[in-house]
Amino acid sequence: MVRIFITGGAGQIGLALQEHLATNSILADSNAIVYIYDLVNNPAQDIMNANQLEKEMREFRPEIVIHLAAISNITDCNNDPSKAFDVNGKGCANVIKAAIKSQVQKIIYSSTASVYSKTLDRDDFNREDDAVSPDSIYGHSKYIGEKMLTYYCGTDSAAVDRFHGEVIILRLFNVVIEKKYISMANRSMDRLFNTLQNLTVNDKFTIYGNKYDTKDGTCVRDYISVKDVCRAFSAAMDPPSVGERVASGVKIYNVCSGIETSVLQIINIWYKKYTEKNFTVVFGEARKGDNARSIGDNSKISAALGWKPQDTIEKMIFSM
């Protein structure tokens, strides 16, 4: 029996992961027990409350901790950087310390592709050993979590209270969330898809920039379905046998499709689904800070964990 402690389990990815573990995961047949720690359901379950977090984790005695809790909305991070650094930084430190005291065997940390530098040449991919140079509050705050995990959990860590288990950092690219999880979590969806969802007949949709060095001149992104993300978390768990210690150290993996999809492609696929809206596409000036390409290489996670994305961009859009 494996015991899994999930912070932020009532968020969009957390809800999808709960369902996945209960129905589709190999863990569904292994008598897994999942403990959800999330202030949405219980205001006392705040990762900023170190004492409460440690108390509940020690009482549950998990083998695996999945750390999802964070301020991930870009606007929220920009509007209140101090809170973003507190929750995403100090909150992560609290989770690590509680895991050390609870003798957890594995920590799986939900990070982001926003940690990468935005300089990406055409036909190139972000790889895990690339230079890390976040240029957003969100990216910086999540990278702080990565650095702390490396400090406390690395094989050459100098920390007095060192974590002796395994750490897996999953850098998620552009996650497409199914509508039901967005509604359940009472959150808004990705800005692009949110704008498309709210279009009415004869509306205009503005694409900002059409002169980028990409196949059709519009920005290119790497989209990954929330179901594929859940499959990646499941692959990263690989629960140890009772009493068995896992190899220590930190491993980082991109969770991405490795396929570039432009904004214009998204619009064309969306239009096929909602032809009755009959909206018009117009091109505006490129926005400051928008990078031309953000594509990941998933060969490392594929080789190490046997994970490969299954959902196409069409399937993602039609699930919304």
User: What pLDDT digit, counting tens, does each position of 23-44 carry?
Assistant: 875 555 566 789 999 988 889 9
Token digits of residue 194: 């949110």
Q: Which of 95, 102, 113 is nearest to 62 (CA)?
A: 102
Q: What percent of the chain lies above the pLDDT cut of 70?
A: 84
| Structure letter (DSSP) for residue 287 | P
Query: According to the model, what pLDDT value does residue 255 have?
Result: 98
Q: Classify burial at 309, counting beta carbons within 10 Å of its beta carbon; exposed 0-12, middle 13-18, buried 19 or more.
A: buried
Residue, of 186 and 179, whose pLDDT is higher: 179
Contact 34, 4 (CB under 8 A): yes
pLDDT at 238: 76
Q: Is residue 242 predicted with pLDDT exceeding 50?
A: no
Q: Does residue 232 or residue 201 have the better pLDDT?
A: 232
What is the spatial distance between Cα 36 and Cα 6, in angstroms, rounded to a whole number?
Answer: 5
Beta strand 3-7 with 293-294 is unpaired
Q: How confident is the prediction for the chain on average, in pLDDT?
A: 86
| Element of type H or E holding 90 | none
Specify burial of residue 296 (Cβ count, 10 A radius: 0-12, 13-18, 19+): buried
Pair 185, 13: CB distance under 8 Å = no
Q: What is the CATH number of domain 179-219+259-284?
A: 3.90.25.10
Mean pLDDT value of segment 279-308: 88
Which one is the CATH code of 3-178+223-258+296-310: 3.40.50.720, 3.40.50.460, 3.40.250.10, 3.40.630.30? 3.40.50.720
The CB density around residue 271, as the number of other CB atoms within 10 Å, is 16
Domain 3-178+223-258+296-310 and domain 179-219+259-284, same fold? Reply is: no
pLDDT band at 279 (very low <50, low <70, confident <90, very high): confident
**What is the Cα gyration radius of the chain?**
20
pLDDT of residue 136: 87
- The pLDDT value given to residue 267: 87
How high is the pLDDT of residue 277? 62
β-pairing, 223-225 with 293-294? unpaired
pLDDT for residue 187: 55
Q: What angle do CA 147, 172, 234 make, to 5 degrees?
A: 100
Strand positions, DSSP E, 78-189: 106-112, 166-172, 174-176
Distance CA 78, CA 142 (A): 14
Residues with Cβ within 8 Å of residue 126, at least 6 apart in sequence: 113, 116, 120, 254, 294, 295, 296, 297
Query: Which residue ranges make up each domain of the chain?
Result: 3-178+223-258+296-310, 179-219+259-284
pLDDT greater than 50 at residue 219: yes
